[in-house]
Amino acid sequence: MAKCRINTGPMMTGISYMIPVICLGGILQSFGTMLGGSSVGSDTTSFAGMLYAGGTISMNMVVPVLAAYIAYGICDRPGIAPGLMIGVLSVNYKIGFVGGIIGGYAVGYFLRFMKEKIPLNKNLQSLMPLLILPILGGLFSILLMDYVVGPLLGGLQSFLVGLFAELQAGPRIVFGLVMGAMMGVDFGGPVTKIATTVANGLVADGVLGPEGAKVCCGIVPALGLGLATFLFPQKFTRAERATGPSTIVLGCAQVGEGGLPYLLRDPLHVMPAGIAGSAVTGAIAMFFNVGSPVMMGGFFAFPVMQNIFPGAFIAVAAGVAVEILLVALIKKTVTGEDELDELSGLDDASGDVDFEISIEEG
Amino acid sequence: MKIVAVTACTVGVAHTYIARDKLEAAAVKRGHAIQVETQGNVGIEDELSPEAIRDADIVILAADVTVAHQERFARKKVVRVPSVVAIKQADQLIGKIEDKLGVK
């Protein structure tokens, strides 16, 4: 049974360690915004400002943690230090998840190869994990990120940001539609960042409409998926349903990343729902001229936003409704392979179990 | 025979523990002693003692993510399967280990 497939184990390890970091950062940012209002980003003395700043620090650690534990999943502990570094590099190039995943896999396999190939005198063995592997991994990360992946993907990203910014001259509903669609593609990933970079930049120029639409769109993907786990439980695995409530909270706090586990398990059916829902929200929010001076917060930011009633509420409700409807229509009912549902009655007595018994080295 | 196992899944809140329950049930049904350590998102629970690992005839790692502290299993016989195998086919899994190790 030699099936060719991508090794997703390391990716799952990375996601597993990443999830709590997202939850921590997103919720703190939202609470900070709710308590501190629109100036919370530049406020360093109040409790609200500290909450927001702490949340931002945590959100900046999301991709480093993902990259580090992808590498850890491949080459064990030596991968963590260079993995963290390549993740931060990816954040600096504004290529987020994509850069972090590429970087984590690359540095992980590089170090595993090095671990096996470098012959070392027994006396020098202790230098391997402490000195040689981290430094080799760090050099590799810098070469890969600063000379190849960063400029390539980063350049593509800024080109697209420029392209998207030009769209702002057109009808604002179209702008909202496109921005929402982009935010529904990867729930906080690099495509989202193209849209949010433009919206965030316009706030500095005093144009608050796109940012208002952005806050509304950011709520939709995770909130819709979380609610859908309750309305259409047959479309979700047991683990997905178990994380439903926390996904709803993350959605309300505008942490689109809360929807990532759903997106990664079933991208073909979740992505269209996310795109459509978020696009509807973006268009409606732009139509009603919903404006926001703050970048984060979701529902918690509504008190400091403009024209929220009824515009923002209609926008979010319509987007969520569209997303849930599409989940109901196109997402397949979970069965067989990915369904591990009830504790009884799913034993698969027909399939053969295939595994090797290996003796561990050491 | 004496079995020790570690279960771990991606999100670390559901499958980790279902896999443990299924392995324990299957092992007891087939007349084996078993201890299962879970590595969920809250961390390690029911950590395997060095004695339990030393005395074990086989180590089962039923995990979708990298199992922490694998150095404990140096020179042991180890079976690696995704958590779904422990959840859906725990009985066959242990049966096949019996065959391969020649245990009744």
Contact of A166 with chain B, judged by CB distance below 8 Å, is answered with: no
Query: What residues in A contact B12, CB-CB < 8 Å?
Result: 16
Q: Which residues of B touch A355 (CB under 8 A)?
A: 79-81, 85, 93, 96
How many Cβ atoms sit within 10 Å of the Cβ of residue A127? 12
B85 has a chain A CB within 8 A of its CB: yes
Tell me whether residues A239 and B74 touch, CB distance under 8 A.
no
Q: Has B9 been annotated as catalytic? A: yes
At residue B49, the pLDDT reads: 95
What distance in Å separates residue B31's CA from the closest CA in chain A? 19
What is the DSSP secondary structure assignment for residue A255, as one 8-state letter?
Answer: -
Two structure tokens written together for A316 = 């979010």
Give the A window 339-358 contacts with B, CB below 8 Å: 340, 343, 346-349, 351-353, 355-358
Note down pLDDT in tens along chain A; length 362 residues: 333 345 667 888 888 898 888 888 888 888 888 888 778 878 888 999 999 999 999 989 999 999 999 999 999 889 999 999 999 999 998 887 889 999 999 999 999 999 888 877 777 777 888 888 999 999 999 999 999 999 999 888 888 888 888 887 888 899 999 999 999 998 988 888 888 888 888 887 788 899 999 999 999 999 999 999 999 999 998 878 888 999 999 999 998 888 988 887 788 999 999 999 999 999 999 999 999 988 888 998 898 899 988 999 999 999 999 999 999 999 988 875 555 443 334 455 555 667 777 776 55
For the segment B35-75, what is each residue's pLDDT rounded down to a tens digit?
999 999 889 999 999 999 999 999 999 998 899 999 899 99
Residue A161 pLDDT? 85
Residue pair A232/A199 in contact (Cβ under 8 Å)? The answer is: no
**Domain extents for chain B?**
2-101
| Cα distance between residue B97 and residue B86, in whole Å | 13
Hey, where are the domains in chain A? 170-335
Q: What pLDDT is attached to residue A4?
A: 38
Class of domain B2-101: alpha beta
For chain A, the distance separating the N- and C-terminal CA atoms, rounded to the nearest angstrom, is: 29
Strand, helix or coil for residue B45: strand
Q: Give the CA distances from residue B61 to residues A10, A244, B21, B72, in Å, rounded to whole numbers and listed in that order.
A: 15, 28, 14, 12
Beta bridge mates, B36: B5
* Mean pLDDT estimate for chain B: 91
Distance, CA of A62 to CA of A18 (rounded, Å) = 6
Query: Is 90 exceeded by the pLDDT of residue B2?
Result: yes
Query: Taking CB atoms and an 8 Å cutoff, what residues of chain A touch B64?
Result: 9, 12
Question: Which of the 8 DSSP states describes residue A309?
Answer: I
